[in-house]
Structure 1
Amino acid sequence: MTTYLTEYNWDDVVPVPQDDGGPDALVVIAYNDDYRTAMGYLRAIMRVEEYSERAFQLTSDIIFMNAAHYTVWTYRTRILFALGKDCEQELEWLEYVASKFPKNYQIWNHREIIVEKYNSPIRELPFIEAMLALDSKNYHVWSYRQWVVRRFNLWATELAYTSNMIEDDVRNNSAWNHRYFALFGAGAPVNDGIVASEIEFTKDAILKAPQNASAWNYLSGLVRTSKRPLSSLEDFCTSLASFPMTVSADSQEIVQSARALEVLADIYAEKRDLDRALQAWTLLADKYDTIRVNFWNYKKLQATRTIMA
């Protein structure tokens, strides 16, 4: 016998069976007996909007059988508030559930609702950091961290936190994304000194891994958002992607970073230096980024039409 059947008396409840679409249903999901029975009782008590301890326990049992069941989470929230249950106890329970199902987004949606009601972030950043220690690229955890930071105005620590994360793994795209959020997400103006410092920080990170798309995307975002000219990156990109004026399959050009070459091509196009832009795109198409050959050929065609017009 299962916990939800033995801990509470269900004699007054007639389970509502799953409607699979009739006897000739095309596809019938093969639920196990425990899950099928639990859901039968849940459908029955949801019909009469029963908000009770046994209903609350039943949602817990079903969540551990199928943590992705959105309706169960929604019903649990309604019971929680109807019974006036302790939000902190619910947060503790959620921490355990999250350790078992860390990439289930319903967990984080439910936690957001509870924290909003609890109106305190005191548990949140330590909990988030513990979860990211288990998986530093868990999208759901990072998304939740953004909500917590914005909701409780916790911007002050975020750049330092992402610096540590990037130091641990320079290719952590989630940390780079959060860093951009930390810098610009509050909507307040960012002074030139901070942006200049960020550009140097990012350049140093790129030198550790010149092909790392995450840092290059962040650098491009910094330049674009701060309205700096792309050409301000020309010297840095040239140091990582110098190349000759002729292109051949056996040429001995030194290109440490295809990403740098890509930015250089755009810089040359902006400066209407079509010859060097075409040369850079040709190198990318023929040698350094052949998987995107069609894209580079498209860029060449578009630039030629624009600059020659």
Structure 2
Amino acid sequence: MSESGDSDVSWVFYKDRPDWSDVTPVSEDDGPTPVVVIAHSEKFEDVYDYFRAVLKANELSERALQLTKDAVELNPANYTVWQYRRDLLQALGTDLKSELEYVESVIKQSPKNYQVWHHRRVLIEWLQDPSLELEVTGDALQQDPKNYHAWQHRQWAIKTFGLFDKEMDFVDHLINEDVRNNSAWNQRYFVMNNHNGWSDFNVQKEICYTLEKIKFVKNNESAWNYLRGVLLHDKRGISGNAVVTSFCEDLYKNRCRSTYLLAFIIDICEENLRKGESSCLYNSERAIELCQALATKYDKVRSKYWDYLSEKIKILQNNIKNDQENNIV
């Protein structure tokens, strides 16, 4: 959707349409000294001059509704056009089912346009009918699995109307297609957090699921982040789940040096340190050693961060040691 319609020989300017002869167009007013003058096509200026006119007059008519469609065609991100169109839909009692079809066609042309998704959301709220939303968002995500606006709309529809039943199957499909799809992992957490719940059984089930995906791609930040999120709901914490710690150690012993694995082991060490639990495997010395390895070899780009984290752990270690000595005294 753009100004490409200028090449359409059948287009008739609004200024040349007899049924619009009663309207005086309103030109754009950028003031006496505009900073940047945008060069619009003649068609764009014609449509928006007449749009400003009907908006100023608050004309509620079928021709104004059609005019908004032409305005959307030229600029689908114009909030004022969409809002005025909604006013017209309500005033004219327009069939909202046909409006949904129209909006779907706009989404296909402009899938990352916030205004059109917002318009669709308002329509669904008016209709109280979300029956097409999983399909529409699914089609958009098939084209771009990381379309934020489609995900946002999908989550809204699912949560508002309780459409959770088949969502985990949808998420599984996306993750199986691309295990690095961070949006799909985020949606999985959304379903768990808002529907399935974090019973101990579900926590352990999600841990096992995630570990299997990490086995497949060990350097996958999305899966490691999801694992951290799941473990927030494990009363044993990051360091207390034997399945997770054994998995990490197996990877490490098999010479896996994924930055995400090493960072995870550092987190285990730090949590152990904060809990005051002694461990020959997860302690401050190992955490500092891994920070140095990341800074100098495995993640040089973020060397300053790992140096900072190393110093932070040293300070934490000293503070704990001082507290212990003061308690003894």
| TM-score, normalisation: structure 1 | 0.91
Residue 37 (structure 1) aligned with residue 38 (structure 2): no
Rounded Cα–Cα distance in structure 1 between residues aligned with 2:118 and 2:17: 28
Rounded Cα–Cα distance in structure 1 between residues aligned with 2:250 and 2:92: 65
Residue 136 (structure 1) aligned with residue 137 (structure 2): no
Rounded Cα–Cα distance in structure 2 between residues aligned with 1:228 and 1:37: 66
Residue 83 (structure 1) aligned with residue 92 (structure 2): yes
Residue number in structure 2 paired with 1:250:
none
C-alpha displacement of 1:79 = 0.7
Which amino acid in structure 2 is aligned with residue 126 of structure 1?
Answer: E
Residue number in structure 1 paired with 2:161:
152
- CA distances 1:40-62 after superposition (whole Å, capped 9, x unpaired): 11111111211111111111111
Residue number in structure 1 paired with 2:187:
178
Residue number in structure 1 paired with 2:210:
202
RMSD (Å), alpha carbons? 1.7
Give the secondary-structure state (helix, strand or coil) at the position aligned to 1:18: coil
In 2, are the aligned partners of 1:4 and 1:61 still within 8 Å (CA)? no
Rounded Cα–Cα distance in structure 2 between residues aligned with 1:162 and 1:10: 51
Residue number in structure 2 paired with 1:239:
250
- CA distances 1:79-105 after superposition (whole Å, capped 9, x unpaired): 111111111101111111111111111
Rounded Cα–Cα distance in structure 1 between residues aligned with 2:18 and 2:159: 42
Residue number in structure 2 paired with 1:224:
232
Residue number in structure 1 paired with 2:60:
51
Residue 275 (structure 1) aligned with residue 289 (structure 2): no
- CA distances 1:150-208 after superposition (whole Å, capped 9, x unpaired): 1101112111210111011101111110110011024x743211111111111111111
Give the secondary-structure state (helix, strand or coil) at the position aligned to 1:50: coil
C-alpha displacement of 1:291 = 1.3
- CA distances 1:112-159 after superposition (whole Å, capped 9, x unpaired): 000111111111112221221111221111111000101101112111
Rounded Cα–Cα distance in structure 1 between residues aligned with 2:56 and 2:107: 29
Residue number in structure 2 paired with 1:112:
121
The 1:42–1:191 alpha-carbon spacing in structure 2 relative to 1, beyond 3 Å, is: same
Aligned length: 297
Which amino acid in structure 2 is aligned with residue 107 of structure 1?
Answer: V
C-alpha displacement of 1:7 = 6.8
The 1:220–1:60 alpha-carbon spacing in structure 2 relative to 1, beyond 3 Å, is: same
| TM-score, normalisation: structure 2 | 0.86
Residue number in structure 2 paired with 1:124:
133
Residue 260 (structure 1) aligned with residue 271 (structure 2): no
| Alignment match of 1:298 (pick from 308, 312, 322) | 308
Rounded Cα–Cα distance in structure 2 between residues aligned with 1:26 and 1:191: 59
In 2, are the aligned partners of 1:210 and 1:256 still within 8 Å (CA)? no
Moved over 3 A (4+): 1-4, 225-228
- CA distances 1:21-44 after superposition (whole Å, capped 9, x unpaired): 21x322111121111111111111
Rounded Cα–Cα distance in structure 2 between residues aligned with 1:107 and 1:165: 25
Rounded Cα–Cα distance in structure 2 between residues aligned with 1:260 and 1:29: 51
Give the secondary-structure state (helix, strand or coil) at the position aligned to 2:166: helix
Give the secondary-structure state (helix, strand or coil) at the position aligned to 1:13: coil
Which amino acid in structure 2 is aligned with residue 165 of structure 1?
Answer: L
| Alignment match of 1:213 (pick from 217, 221, 230) | 221
In 2, are the aligned partners of 1:166 and 1:175 still within 8 Å (CA)? yes
Which amino acid in structure 2 is aligned with residue 279 of structure 1?
Answer: E
Residue number in structure 2 paired with 1:162:
171
Give the secondary-structure state (helix, strand or coil) at the position aligned to 2:19: coil
In 2, are the aligned partners of 1:240 and 1:257 still within 8 Å (CA)? no
The aligned runs of 1:8-27 (5 Å cut-off) are 9-22=19-32, 24-27=33-36
Residue number in structure 2 paired with 1:72:
81
Rounded Cα–Cα distance in structure 2 between residues aligned with 1:257 and 1:199: 19
C-alpha displacement of 1:268 = 1.1
Gaps of 5+ in 1: 243-252
Which amino acid in structure 1 is aligned with residue 297 of structure 2?
Answer: K
When structure 1 is superposed on structure 2, of 229-238 and 210-219 the one drifting more is 229-238
Residue number in structure 1 paired with 2:324:
none
In 2, are the aligned partners of 1:4 and 1:57 still within 8 Å (CA)? no
Which amino acid in structure 2 is aligned with residue 132 of structure 1?
Answer: L
